[in-house]
Structure 1
Amino acid sequence: MFTPTILDEFRHFSYTKLTKNIIYLDPSPKLKALGDLIAGNSRYWTQEFSFLQIPQSSRFFKSITQEQHENIANNLPKLGELKNRKFDLIIFESIFTCALPLMDYLGIETFALAQSIAFESTSLRSLGEPVMPSHVPDLLSHSSDRMTLYERFLNVITQFLMTQYNFSPDFYISYDDPNKRIIPALELPKTSFVFTNSNPYLDFPRATISKNIPIGGITVNLQTLKSGKLPEEWDQILNIRNKTLLIAFGSVLLSKDMPFDYKVSLARAMKQFPDVTFLWKYEDDDTDSFAKGIENIHFTKWLPQREILADPRLSAFMTHGGLGSINEVSYMGKPTVMCPLMSDQMRAAKMLARHNGTVEISKYDLQNPEIVEEAFRKVLYDESYTIAAKQLSEKLEFQPTKPKDLFLKHVEFAARFGKLPSLDPYSRQMSFIEYFLIDIASITLFCASLMCLSVYFVAKSVLRSFWSKSKME
């Protein structure tokens, strides 16, 4: 495994238990500075994240991928071991196209793309997948699949901007040949498969192509989690009261960085439920400033989220709507208070809410303790939310083919057979006019117009003749 690092906190991070041979590449000073900007997103607790951020995000990610390309170029001697292994297949995140010149350098012919997001129209459209903004919300959409006229308009604008502002450079210079350009727009469609962090039993339904393999929930092992035992500390916390609600806003936007009035409001809402333990992932020690004397809140800087979600004593979960958390809580069957903060979390919140086990609130609602209290009350005491969440959990547990099996079988298939041009839809070669049958519609309209005109002139001639004859009589 090759792990070129961007965020400093993930340097020498062990991603898997079984993979022992891992080659790490530390970030360059410039790349580390860019990574620090990713970690500094606390402004989105109060700032809106919409399609207006697309141009800026495009420039930012282009800088990251270009700098990672340069960083790899400056460390090619360290990759000699990789080159000698003669790999059959390389898998990389579709947004980090700097893997393409690395693939060329290592002599790897076959590749597969992976996406940590559920849906991103630009890359999927480039593979030939039909993308319909009329009913499929895009990455940054705030809507569900049932959109108003205004929401459909915004969805179209979002997809247009995502297409115009690419998130990777237009080309890279080959490591072996300085005169050779590697163009992502031409290379990416040659992928054997694209693995998306989506699950058809959870996500919005849409048309896909054979190359698109949905593996959302691949990291959730229900049997292991349900049979596991929590450490004593967490076991005791879950035994304090009959109901426990977990609050965690992820690892990018931290609870400690939310506005102070949000913290006060959340604490006041929790105080109204003395029979409920609130387990809050909070990354600082200043809790007395807003929650002093409230005995039913347990603060912790870290917690085993998946294991706690799997415990039957947990009653509900409040989350920011990251796809990792959504996949986990969906498999575990817990009712959810969804409070999306940025990026694709708005889409993800709508995606889960359509299954009726979720109460969605805005991040701006966090300053209103009455709204927060009402959301808590619904997921804690309205059984309909628990029933709906468990029904979704059962569907995911008994889905015909598990995400892990889908991934392994398709990776083995790609490694054996290489590139799969037979899966490349011809629609990619069609013009806009051909694809949307505008030529057929135009011919049909012309023929219909010609027929109408013919009928008009014939009728006019007949009526004129009849009128003349009547006049003579």
Structure 2
Amino acid sequence: MNEDENKGIIFQHMIVHRDIKPVNLLIDIDKGILKIADFGSAKIVQRGSYSTSYQVTRFYRPPELLLEAKEYYWMVDVWSAGCCVGEMMAGKVLFPGASGKMMLKLIVQAIGLPSQRDHDYMKVSKMIDPESDVKVKGFKEILGNVKDEWADFIGEILRYRPRERLHGPKLLAHSFFDNIFTTKCTLSNGLLVSQVITAEDYKIALKNDCVSGRKYATMILRNEVKFSLKDSNRNANVTPIAASKDSKENKESKDSKESKETFLIPVADEARKNQLGVKLTKDVVIVEQDEIMSSQTLVVDDHMDAMWTIDTHEPNFEEMFSWFHRIMELSCDNFLRNTEVFDLMRSKSFDVAILEPLSVCGLGFFKKLGIEKTILASSCSLYDFILPNIGEPEEHSYVPSLSSQTGDQMSLFERYKNYRFSKETKQTMDKMFDQETRIYRKHLGEDLPDWRELLPSASLFFTNSNPYLDFPRPVIQKTVPIGGISVNMKKIKSEKLNSNWDRILDEREHNMLISFGSMVKSSQMPFEWKENIVRVIKSEPNVTFIWKYETNETQFAAGLDNVVFSNWVPQTALLNDERLTAFLTHGGLGSTNELAHCGKPAVMVPIFGDQVRNANMLARHKGSIFVLKNDLGSFEILKKAVHSILYDKEYKKNAKHLAEILSNQPHQPKDLVVKHTEFLAQFGPFPKMDPFGRSLNFFARNFIDIYATIAFSYLTFGFLSLVILRQVLLLFGVS
């Protein structure tokens, strides 16, 4: 190696990337090449130099940067790379902390508390409390079902002391790599395969049958996709979805049976960007938050915690969800600022585009791409704030709105309140949609139509509503109910509980699951409510309560032997198990659909949003009991509800009957989605399905002009009759 080459290598080793993460790793499977992309945060670092600690995407940020170290080197990239490899193994982000503090807690759970010496090696300005009470899990538990040597490999990379992180030749000599290169394989020049593997080494080794890991490289890539698609919660912020066109070549290819969809995800909530819920789609495009958005965005969980105590009985939608509107506007701006995404989508050929109308940003994007066949898809059973725009009737007198606090049988005041909830929600969403229109026009062109024109141009509207479960209401032809599409009963019935859950369920005659979902955490519930739930649990010694609880801080239930706390539960498997007697839930639509299909009686305690509507919806079928969230503080009310749902057999009977109806319904939701989408792709768009009625004014739509004309006619006739009668009477001398 000459002097210039030597200087070049030394210079390269002075560069710290400072943003290693899966989306910045480019893999060429056929050539066996891995390249690192996006050097926007990279910096040349020399000894004695200082740098900002606010670098590296949070999930991949090493502990020294979380503790605000100013002097660091390339070992921060080794930590990030270790997180990427671990993510591929586990199928999920290793440290999905919503804040720096939560990140440190998750890291401590993985590798234990750092010593004073560890802090010194990291050269940090802050320290982790050495007395912190954190249960250490270790990488074997965090990674899940992986080989011991894999967990050991990640553990040797992810260490507190930067210089002790496994790297270089020692890293490549680890047994983890044994199945990639054949032992003692020589190249064509007679030399052994080099320890630092170059692209040329790979080509020669491949030619000489020295590589046994070609399938492994493919598996890593698939896992990299898979960790983005693995099991997820139902409240991911996903907009929009686009279904791509099948060309003649595609239909004739071997892969013609594979799905041809593109899943496009602008990241609105960084903490949930991997909760996609996609299982079959191979083409997934994630639009990451840039530095501008990262510096402005809000932490969703901080606002969710407040939902426990916010009064949802008053229509203050704008005040309650102003943070959500801000996040959606920032996300729209961030999404459209990335011109590479538009160019990528334009290079594809799409027949149909689908999005959820919680945002209209995607509608402007689709219009600019020239996609005319669009579908709206609602994750809730009713998005009443768009009904006037698509021409669907609003019936406030007997159809509960999205945020309504009542069922379909309302008093005079309740009907007025239902109307106010609906109108305030619409006014607030209209403001957000107007702002998003300004944003998509700024990025894509001022000539793009307003959202009020784009929304009704959608040919279909999929709603997460089931006619056999939901409140009856009038709909237009383009509305297709697909409620329960996420509930796969065949899969649920095949799920097996492990021996630990079997033991828990066998311990007592009755069992009750308690879960408030993943958005609002039980751990953030007001303490007096937790204490009251514990009192109710204590009053039912013959019942085992399984409580999904996010932390290990459960001292408030100390001494109780009939409650099991777990930060994760196999919810669907438990709901399908006959040994589970009942479910205490928040009434999220996902959980509501699951327990309805499984035929499980429930106590529903809605916290916010559409959950009150869902609870009232299910209570109509007399298989559940509705309890206000503030009544979690009332022992008498909660005790009565829990005892009734456990021992009154009528609730179980009615819940089972509803499950039978849903399992035997004539049209399955998945069939409706597939057939309608394919039909639209082949014959759409359908502008004639846009009802003329949406353009009518209030008076014409509600026959007020007709009633007024009839009333005027009667009044005129009556007046003229009186005038004539008076004149006749005067003729006869009657005054």
Residue 246 in structure 1 maps to residue 513 in structure 2: yes
Which amino acid letter does the alignment assign opposite residue 372 of structure 1? L
Q: What SS does the aligned partner of 1:113 have?
A: strand
Which amino acid letter does the alignment assign opposite residue 309 of structure 1? L
Aligned twin of 1:204: 471
Q: Which of 130, 137, 161 is equivalent to 2:393?
A: 130
Residue 84 in structure 1 maps to residue 347 in structure 2: yes
Q: What SS does the aligned partner of 2:573 have?
A: helix
How far has the Cα of 1:81 moved from its partner?
A: 3.5
Q: Which of 268, 273, 277 is equivalent to 2:544?
A: 277
Q: Paired residues, what number?
A: 468
Measured against aligned partners, the alpha-carbon deviations of 1:203-227 in whole angstroms (never above 9, x if no partner) come to 1111000111111110101122123
The answer to which of 74-83 and 16-25 deviates more is: 74-83
Cα–Cα, structure 1 residues 64 and 56, in superposed 2: closer, same or farther, change >3 Å? same
How far has the Cα of 1:133 moved from its partner?
A: 0.9
Contact 1:113–1:191, Cα closer than 8 Å, also in 2? yes
Partners of 1:177 and 1:46 in 2: how far apart?
A: 41
How far has the Cα of 1:141 moved from its partner?
A: 1.0
Q: What SS does the aligned partner of 2:289 have?
A: coil
Cα–Cα, structure 1 residues 85 and 364, in superposed 2: closer, same or farther, change >3 Å? same
Aligned twin of 2:160: none
Residue 363 in structure 1 maps to residue 629 in structure 2: yes
Q: How does 1:103-252 map to 2 (within 5 A)?
A: 103-165=366-428, 166=430, 167-170=432-435, 171-172=437-438, 173-174=440-441, 178-252=445-519
Cα–Cα, structure 1 residues 232 and 102, in superposed 2: closer, same or farther, change >3 Å? farther
Partners of 1:178 and 1:193 in 2: how far apart?
A: 26
Q: Which of 533, 553, 558 is equivalent to 1:286?
A: 553
Which amino acid letter does the alignment assign opposite residue 123 of structure 1? I
Which amino acid letter does the alignment assign opposite residue 16 of structure 1? V
Residue 94 in structure 1 maps to residue 361 in structure 2: no
How far has the Cα of 1:15 moved from its partner?
A: 2.1
Cα–Cα, structure 1 residues 65 and 114, in superposed 2: closer, same or farther, change >3 Å? same
Aligned twin of 1:40: 303
Cα–Cα, structure 1 residues 40 and 320, in superposed 2: closer, same or farther, change >3 Å? same
Contact 1:220–1:331, Cα closer than 8 Å, also in 2? yes
Aligned twin of 2:532: 265
Cα–Cα, structure 1 residues 84 and 232, in superposed 2: closer, same or farther, change >3 Å? farther
Partners of 1:269 and 1:59 in 2: how far apart?
A: 36
How far has the Cα of 1:464 moved from its partner?
A: 5.2
What TM-score does the superposition give when structure 1 sets the normalisation length? 0.93
Contact 1:86–1:107, Cα closer than 8 Å, also in 2? no
State the structure with more CA Rg: 2
Aligned twin of 2:286: 24
Partners of 1:40 and 1:456 in 2: how far apart?
A: 67
Aligned twin of 2:84: none
Contact 1:105–1:175, Cα closer than 8 Å, also in 2? no
How far has the Cα of 1:418 moved from its partner?
A: 2.5
Q: What SS does the aligned partner of 2:565 have?
A: strand
Partners of 1:404 and 1:67 in 2: how far apart?
A: 33
How far has the Cα of 1:462 moved from its partner?
A: 4.8
Partners of 2:292 and 2:540 in 1: how far apart?
A: 48
Q: Which runs of 5+ in 2 are unaligned?
A: 1-262
Aligned twin of 2:695: 429
Measured against aligned partners, the alpha-carbon deviations of 1:15-71 in whole angstroms (never above 9, x if no partner) come to 222222211122235645545135532122122124543223565444333322221
Contact 1:42–1:254, Cα closer than 8 Å, also in 2? yes
% identity of equivalent residues: 37
Cα–Cα, structure 1 residues 248 and 23, in superposed 2: closer, same or farther, change >3 Å? same
Q: What SS does the aligned partner of 1:169 have?
A: helix
Partners of 2:302 and 2:674 in 1: how far apart?
A: 32
**Alignment RMSD (CA, Å):** 2.1
Partners of 1:266 and 1:72 in 2: how far apart?
A: 44
How far has the Cα of 1:231 moved from its partner?
A: 2.6
Cα–Cα, structure 1 residues 78 and 425, in superposed 2: closer, same or farther, change >3 Å? closer
Q: Which of 354, 371, 380 is equivalent to 2:646?
A: 380
Aligned twin of 1:416: 682
Q: Which runs of 5+ in 1 are unaligned?
A: none
Aligned twin of 2:589: 323
Measured against aligned partners, the alpha-carbon deviations of 1:278-298 in whole angstroms (never above 9, x if no partner) come to 01001111112x111111101
Q: What SS does the aligned partner of 2:434 have?
A: coil
